[in-house]
Structure 1
Amino acid sequence: MTQKLGPEVELDPEVEYVVLCGTRHERIGYAPKAEVHHQSTPLHLAFSCYLFDADGNFLVTWRAKHKPTFPGVRTNSCCGHPGPGESIPDAIARRLTDELGIAADRIELMLPEFTYEAAMPDGTRENEVCPVYRATVATRPEPEPNPDEVHDTEWVPWEKFLAEVDADPTSVSPWCALQVEQLRALGPDPLTWPVAENQRLPEVAREPLEKR
């Protein structure tokens, strides 16, 4: 059972929390991240990030094999959960550094309204309001994967990655397969995708995200 805390509750600074969402994708409280993923995962705020170098190559990652949800699965560059009071771009920058040792030059909104649900064979579910962002670097860095989060990485041409997902959508995480279809509609060159307006984000994801 998820321990749900209302927005007015004083949070423990030693605990990592996720932001819980209501039916209109508004913020309704918080829950400890360690307790939120199970067979009845509540709807909560997350993000996905796709990192590209100056030539349009994409950094694909494999999730650590001991993660509780979708272990070892090939997926997008970085995923995570903004904490209370943390903007999504700040959360992305934090996770890129923590997971991959990479500092992005730019982080931009691509798919503001993306949401999804996905279940593992054991019934553990993902249930997320999950805006999708593009991050870019002028000079391709060598990733330094955090083994707690990432098993492996590879830079690949975006068109090659699209072809692999087309050939077998199950070769990537469920959310990545869905996101790739929507990103494809933005155009063939990921570096020229149009940036979405922040006003299109659901209420729970809009800045400022200060605790209120």
Structure 2
Amino acid sequence: MTNDVVLVDAQDVQIGVCAKRDAHLGTGQLHRAFSVHLVDSRGRHLLQRRAAGKMLWSGFWSNACCSHPAPDETILTAASRRLREELGVSASCHALYSFEYHACFGSIGAEHELCHVLVARSDAAVSPAIDEVSEIKWQTRAEISAQLLDSHAQFTPWFRMQWGRLLSEHPSFDTPSRHV
């Protein structure tokens, strides 16, 4: 796959393509991204600790999978692809909502993304790619919510931003399912 990201305007219309690293330098350039919340049949969410080699927010906890679609790749195709690549999980993703955010990581760089938030369900065994993920854990919604109350807990800013909206606008997104 290409190492390019899709630059977009505030309406998610493509306005260009650039190298992924360049899109994250300085204050960042607005680009298309996605964030997948993986839920098992018991209603638990997979959290991942970002690998030490990540340029931004290494070692921070986040949702199951975050990445960028390649140029000419749909969000859903890219999300399913990255779940397989990062976690070894095959699962269909379903779109929930999109939002724009901007978060700086000191002087190293920034995320400026139009992020598509997705959910996928699976009970498959997880096999994390060590260059992407240093640790995983399955937690309930209540456990995650309690940890997020601590402003010093090391969670990625996009995960913090998504969690409250998921709970308020999509309360059944983690409801245990009999068919996964």
Specify if TM > 0.5: yes
5+ long unaligned stretches in structure 2: 176-180
Bigger Rg, structure 1 or 2: 1
Query: What is the alpha-carbon distance in structure 2 between the residues aligned to residue 183 and residue 165 of structure 1?
Result: 14
Moved over 6 A (4+): none
Displacement after TM superposition at 1:170 (Å): 4.2
TM-score between the two structures when normalised by the length of structure 2: 0.90
| 1:151 paired residue among 120, 134, 145 | 134
| 1:103 paired residue among 90, 95, 119 | 90
- 1:135 matches 2:100: no
Conserved? CA contact 2:102–2:113, under 8 Å: yes
1:7 match: none
Displacement after TM superposition at 1:23 (Å): 4.3
2:101 match: 116
Displacement after TM superposition at 1:132 (Å): 0.2
Structure 2 SS opposite 1:159 = helix
Q: Deviations over 1:4-42 (max 9, x none)?
A: xxxxxxxxxx74211001244321010122332111311
Structure 2 SS opposite 1:131 = strand
Matches within 5 A, 1:7-18: 15-18=2-5
Q: Deviations over 1:60-104 (max 9, x none)?
A: 000011111111110010000001111111101111010011111
2:178 match: none
2:40 match: 53
Q: State which drifts further: 159-168 or 46-55.
A: 159-168
Q: How many residues are matched?
A: 176
Conserved? CA contact 1:170–1:177, under 8 Å: no
1:26 match: 13
Query: What is the alpha-carbon distance in structure 2 between the residues aligned to residue 23 and residue 179 of structure 1?
Result: 18
Displacement after TM superposition at 1:187 (Å): 4.9
Displacement after TM superposition at 1:149 (Å): 0.7
CA gap of 1:171–1:189, structure 2 versus 1, over 3 A, is farther
Query: What is the alpha-carbon distance in structure 2 between the residues aligned to residue 92 and residue 24 of structure 1?
Result: 20
Q: State which drifts further: 63-72 or 158-167.
A: 158-167
The structure with more strand, counted as a fraction of residues: 2
The CA RMSD measured in Å over matched residues stands at 1.9
TM-score between the two structures when normalised by the length of structure 1: 0.77
